[in-house]
Copies of this chain bind each other. A is one copy, B any other.
């Protein structure tokens, strides 16, 4: 048979497989599986959100719609921001996308192309690097530094990675997988750096409300940047409102970029279904209580797994400041890919290997704690029972 792979574009051919899928495949179908590998909770989307989608279908809204999103959703997103950040936002800066992933992809497409470089602090969600490289740009990893009290971003490390080809810096805070949160001081240093070098910042603050420090939400670039700073935010309905399967996100960008972003949407997926957008409107306008419950659930899950893992010999874990993951290492375990494969095969506990998260993550595994407490406790028990065997 002809090898057709060789005839594909190098950018497509070299896009990596997800480093989590291999482990997923090793455990999939087990009846006793406790899947803590994905960035997803265990609650389905609340009924009031589904109801809004169904009502839209009943109104016959099954035609092409606005490329930038229906006006009602752009207004609801603006209102959400006004409430969360306590300042003014125009609906004109929000662009509805077919997932947070697509928000990242289109933003990368807007600011970086063939031959350009995007700096990505690591460990990081692996899809970020892939989204950069698939466009012929290069993702330049800059590992955070580790210290006994956790992860630290040193802005001089970022600055040292800037070259004439650099067009953007990616910052995910609160961070998946580490749970690291950039302080306002770090954000300011980062913004000043971007301003000095005229670089774009791609700000991924998807986990803003999953924050365990003071103030109810994580520090944000919205707190410090002005309207015409080169900052583009990517976001998603997935985590806050248990809507991972819906594939709805948004880009928040200076309105002058509107036509370019509309064109990028037009030529990728040409918009998001109206019914899904009405579901998002319901989530944003009626979902405040549900979101508070989600955050509280994560807080309880975090406490549960932190205490549980700390009670296990050989496990090193720091309390994460945000998001809903523990990223921990195990004394004597250096091949975390093999560890995750063995763990799921022998205990049914699914974790994501740190190898999937790039430089600096190799010795860790990621556990998602946005789940039922009894499942989390059972997972800890199984890890605790099994660990002495390896």
**Chain B contacts for A102, CB-based, 8 A:** 268-269
B17 and A263 contact, CB distance less than 8 A? yes
Tell me the complex Cα distance, A164–B244, Å: 44
**Chain B contacts for A262, CB-based, 8 A:** 17
A162 to chain B, nearest CB (A): 15
From the candidates B109, B134, B198, B270, name the one contacting A247 in the complex (CB within 8 A).
B270
From the candidates B7, B57, B244, name the one contacting A200 in the complex (CB within 8 A).
B7
Across the interface, name the chain B residue whose C-beta is closest to A106. Answer: B12
Encode A242-273 as 1/0 by CB contact (under 8 A) with B: 11111100000010110110111011111111
**Chain B contacts for A40, CB-based, 8 A:** 63-64
Known: A98-B269, A198-B7, A230-B4. A12 touches B246 (CB 8 A): no
The reply to whether the CB of A307 lies closer than 8 angstroms to some CB of chain B is no
The reply to whether the CB of A29 lies closer than 8 angstroms to some CB of chain B is no
Stretch with Cβ within 8 A of B (4 or more), from A110-118, A184-192, A213-221, A355-363: A110-118
Known: A263-B17, A266-B127. A98 touches B101 (CB 8 A): no
Q: Footprint of B on A, CB under 8 Å? A: 1-5, 7-13, 15-18, 38, 40, 44-45, 50, 53-54, 57-58, 60-65, 98-99, 101-102, 105, 109-116, 127, 130-131, 134-136, 167, 198, 200, 228, 230, 242-247, 254, 256-257, 259-260, 262-264, 266-276
Main secondary structure of the interface of A (DSSP, over half): loop
A9 and B109 contact, CB distance less than 8 A? yes
B273 and A246 contact, CB distance less than 8 A? yes
B62 and A111 contact, CB distance less than 8 A? no
A111 and B230 contact, CB distance less than 8 A? no
A247 and B273 contact, CB distance less than 8 A? yes
**Chain B contacts for A198, CB-based, 8 A:** 7
B245 and A105 contact, CB distance less than 8 A? no
From the candidates B62, B230, B242, B269, name the one contacting A242 in the complex (CB within 8 A).
B62
Known: A9-B111, A244-B62. A16 touches B263 (CB 8 A): yes
Tell me the complex Cα distance, A105–B130, Å: 17
Tell me the complex Cα distance, A269–B97, Å: 9
Tell me the complex Cα distance, A266–B125, Å: 13
Known: A63-B44, A98-B269. A167 touches B9 (CB 8 A): yes
**Chain B contacts for A3, CB-based, 8 A:** 256
Tell me the complex Cα distance, A133–B273, Å: 26
**Chain B contacts for A273, CB-based, 8 A:** 245-247, 276
B244 and A63 contact, CB distance less than 8 A? yes
B9 and A116 contact, CB distance less than 8 A? yes
Tell me the complex Cα distance, A111–B114, Å: 16
A228 and B1 contact, CB distance less than 8 A? yes
B9 and A113 contact, CB distance less than 8 A? yes
Tell me the complex Cα distance, A273–B282, Å: 18
User: Given A7-B198, A18-B266, A101-B270, 9 more contacts at CB 8 Å?
Assistant: A5-B257, A9-B109, A9-B113, A15-B266, A101-B268, A127-B270, A134-B264, A245-B274, A247-B272
